Structure 1
Amino acid sequence: MFSFFSKKYFFVDLLEGFTDFHNHILPGIDDGAPDVETSLQLIQKFGEFGVTNFVHSPHVMNDYYPNTPKTINAALAELQAVQPAHIKNSAAAEYMMDQSLMDKLSEEKLLKISGNFSLVEMSFLQPPINLKEIIFTLQNKGHVLILAHPERYGFFHEPSLRKYTDLKNRGCYFQLNMLSLSEHYGRGIQKMAFKLLENQMIDYISSDTHRLEHLEKLQNIKLKSKEMEMLKPVVEKSKGLFA
């Protein structure tokens, strides 16, 4: 419950019943949880926020994290074998948009977040030179694209939001990282996060949790009433992916 006498509110108060669909909780297959014990710690911490449903999204990134549906589902099975009975989870992936992904399209079926929604990302250094072609190809294969953490791509930062608008016009949905509401990634990224929210360009939100420290920081994020009001429909739309 929110107090009318409080000037700021805890963001996690919005998360009861939320399904976290961008996280790196699965054990030992990317830069997230290194083992099952850590996975369980993360799940337990999420439970303090009322979050017990997960779609796990480990990186699929060429030579760094060459995950496949087989490796991802194996890690999911390992976790499900020991997790509490009330936890509900499934597996998807966070796909790097590069030539390696294009090559996969003819070899394997990509793991989706929900329905036809697929979670994609790009390098933080620069966008792929054939970004438009990748988007077009994925969409022609039936994928509805959710771009992970658009606020973190510094090469898109400009006052007009022109580059973001172009991606939206191409049919991409935007998923904000919860920690971008704080200075965790830097003030510039926090500023862009709120600018995208203010311009109603953010469609979904998720945690992108890699380690316990992230959830501890998330627990302490306080926002103004106006900021919470901007976020409520985004949180509800995110819940709606799994209704």
Structure 2
Amino acid sequence: MLNIFRAKRQFQDLEWMHVDMHSHLLPGIDDGASSLDDSLHLLEQLQDLGLRKFFFTPHVFREMYPNTQDTIQEAFQQIASSASADAVGGFAAEYMVDNYFDRLLQTQKPLAYLPDHHVLIEMSYMQESAMIEKIIFDLQMQGYKPILAHPERYVFYHGKTDRIEHLRNLGCLLQLNLLSLYGYYGSKEKQVARLLCEKGLIDLVGSDVHHRRHIKAIEHGLTKEDLWPYFKRCRLKNQELFSETYA
């Protein structure tokens, strides 16, 4: 039903992004969508914003979200059987860089990855992992291509974008969150996000949507400012890498 009270967008939608390669829409397995109905509702709202294909990347964090290939695939099948086939790209995971992930890598069991063996990783927001460079190297040695999620959100990199650039030079792609550019996570995150874009360091952009509040913030932002110009110095690879369906 049309919401007559919804703010009219002043600027273009997110069609330029096309593929959302970082989201938490799988039902009931992390801090994202709580049910299948919730998943489908969030997916529909993101499609309304112009996004066309989605890859679902729930957390794998032993202490809070001990997901496995099986738990992720089971949740994915629920949404894949209910949503439009054109919208469902596939599933992967957002792996926390910690001792558990290090041990998991040593087993050489297959990871939940995005197309062409891209693996999304993250760290604690408060302290850089001492093993981040080792993990990047180990992933590459096993044929994976690491992507660091939302580098602008790590407080230990605020004022140290050279460190972020160093990780990129090691071969780790950088994925920025849409909402960081609007200041949703804070003014420092907004500042770093814009600086990384100005330097042309961002390779990918994701919604990182967990719930309706995130979508409302994006909708509100689109009434104020168009995000696309921030990425004009970046070679975004969302469509190049992830336009094909993979499941």
1:143 lines up with 2:144 in the alignment: yes
Quote the residue 2:115 is aligned against. Answer: 114
Q: Is the 8 A contact 2:120 2:149 kept in 1?
A: yes
Which amino acid counterpart does residue 153 of structure 2 have in structure 1?
Answer: R
Which amino acid counterpart does residue 135 of structure 1 have in structure 2?
Answer: I
Which amino acid counterpart does residue 70 of structure 1 have in structure 2?
Answer: D
1:177-196 matched pairs, under 5 angstroms: 177-196=177-196
Quote the residue 2:134 is aligned against. Answer: 133
1:29-178 matched pairs, under 5 angstroms: 29-105=29-105, 106=107, 108-158=109-159, 161-178=161-178
CA deviation profile, 1:200-228 (whole Å, cap 9, x unmatched): 11111010000011111112224767x63
Quote the residue 1:5 is aligned against. Answer: none
Which shifted more, 52-61 or 102-111? 102-111
What runs of 5+ residues in structure 2 fail to find an aligned partner?
A: 1-8
Secondary structure, counterpart of 1:13 in structure 2? coil
Which amino acid counterpart does residue 67 of structure 2 have in structure 1?
Answer: N
Q: Distance in 2 between matches of 1:94 and 1:172?
A: 14
Q: Distance in 1 between matches of 2:155 and 2:55?
A: 27
Secondary structure, counterpart of 2:90 in structure 1? strand
Which amino acid counterpart does residue 195 of structure 1 have in structure 2?
Answer: L
Q: Is the 8 A contact 1:98 1:134 kept in 2?
A: no
Which amino acid counterpart does residue 143 of structure 1 have in structure 2?
Answer: Y
Q: Is the 8 A contact 1:205 1:235 kept in 2?
A: no
Q: Is the 8 A contact 1:43 1:52 kept in 2?
A: no
Quote the residue 1:3 is aligned against. Answer: none
Q: Is the 8 A contact 1:46 1:215 kept in 2?
A: yes
> What is the root-mean-square deviation in Å for CA atoms of aligned residues?
2.1
CA deviation profile, 1:132-172 (whole Å, cap 9, x unmatched): 222211111111111000000010111x5221122122111
Residues 207 and 180 (structure 1 numbering): CA distance in 2 closer, same or farther, change over 3 Å?
same
Percent identical among aligned pairs is 36
CA deviation profile, 1:66-114 (whole Å, cap 9, x unmatched): 1111000000111222224543231100011111111112152101112
Q: Distance in 2 between matches of 1:92 and 1:51?
A: 18
Which shifted more, 82-91 or 97-106? 82-91
Q: 1:235, CA displacement in angstroms?
A: 7.7
Q: Distance in 1 between matches of 2:60 and 2:202?
A: 24
Secondary structure, counterpart of 1:241 in structure 2? helix
Which shifted more, 20-29 or 111-120? 111-120
Q: Is the 8 A contact 1:26 1:39 kept in 2?
A: yes
* TM-score, scaled relative to structure 2: 0.87
Residues 42 and 142 (structure 1 numbering): CA distance in 2 closer, same or farther, change over 3 Å?
same
What runs of 5+ residues in structure 1 fail to find an aligned partner?
A: 1-7
Residues 133 and 235 (structure 1 numbering): CA distance in 2 closer, same or farther, change over 3 Å?
closer
Counting matched residue pairs gives 233
Q: Is the 8 A contact 2:179 2:217 kept in 1?
A: yes
Secondary structure, counterpart of 2:216 in structure 1? helix
Q: Distance in 1 between matches of 2:241 and 2:54?
A: 12
